[in-house]
Structure 1
Amino acid sequence: MLMEILGLIGVLLILSAYFAVQSEYLDSLSISYSLLNLVGAGLVLLSLIGSDNYAAITLEGAWLLISGYGLLRSWRRSHI
């Protein structure tokens, strides 16, 4: 049950980040956007532990890595 709740929170974080970009509240290059996606993907991935849903594990793992890359780029850009 706890894992399902964590996964749901992760999905809500990812969707809220996407909505914030679409509504122009956040910039897709911002640290906040990447951080919301990183934490969200991490929570969804955590909720998939022990699952045989390899497609979802692959998607969330890639989402986590890409968000980490975006976060690093955003952080570097803000510290130049």
Structure 2
Amino acid sequence: MTNTDWIGFIGVFQILLAYFLNVTGKVTHKDLSFILLNTIGAGMACLASILIHYVPFIILEGAWTLVSLISLLKFLSGSKHYQ
């Protein structure tokens, strides 16, 4: 496997781990661990997609990263809209 494969694999693993932890009740969508797993995972998957020039997943993972980043910023600011 190439470095790009590893970046993508680790990123997708983090997204799937966040989802698994959420559906098994270990974390909620408001937990920092869930938000970080999604933000970092989507960012890594997006980077891997950029490196292989695969536009559909650049769009998907880029959007996922932005949404997760907004969630992270709301969490860090203690926004009442987030709670």
Fold agreement, TM-score > 0.5: yes
Q: Tell me what 1:32 maps to.
A: 33
Q: What is the CA–CA distance in structure 2 between the aligned matches of 1:64 and 1:4, rounded to whole Å?
A: 19
1:12-27 maps to which residues of 2 (within 5 A)? 12-27=13-28
CA distance in 1, matches of 2:12, 2:59: 15
Q: 1:51: how far off?
A: 3.2
Structure with larger RCO (C-alpha < 8 A, sep 6+): 1
Aligned residues: 78
Cα distance, 1:50 vs. partner? Answer: 3.9
Identity %: 37
Amino acid at match of 2:16: L
RMSD: 1.4
Distance 1:10 1:50 in 2: 14
Q: Which residue of 1 aligns with 2:75?
A: 74
Compute the TM-score of the two structures, normalised by the length of structure 1: 0.88
Unaligned runs of 5+ in 1: none
Alpha-carbon distance in 1 for matches of 2:24, 2:59: 28
Cα distance in 2 for partners of 1:62, 1:24 equals: 25
SS in 1 for 2:50: coil
Structure 2 gaps of 5+ residues are none
Cα deviation, 1:6-37, whole Å, max 9, x if unaligned, reads 10000000000001010110110111111100
What secondary structure, in the 3-state scheme, does the structure 2 residue paired with 1:48 have?
A: helix
Q: CA deviation at 1:76?
A: 2.1
Tell me by how many angstroms 1:77 deviates.
2.4
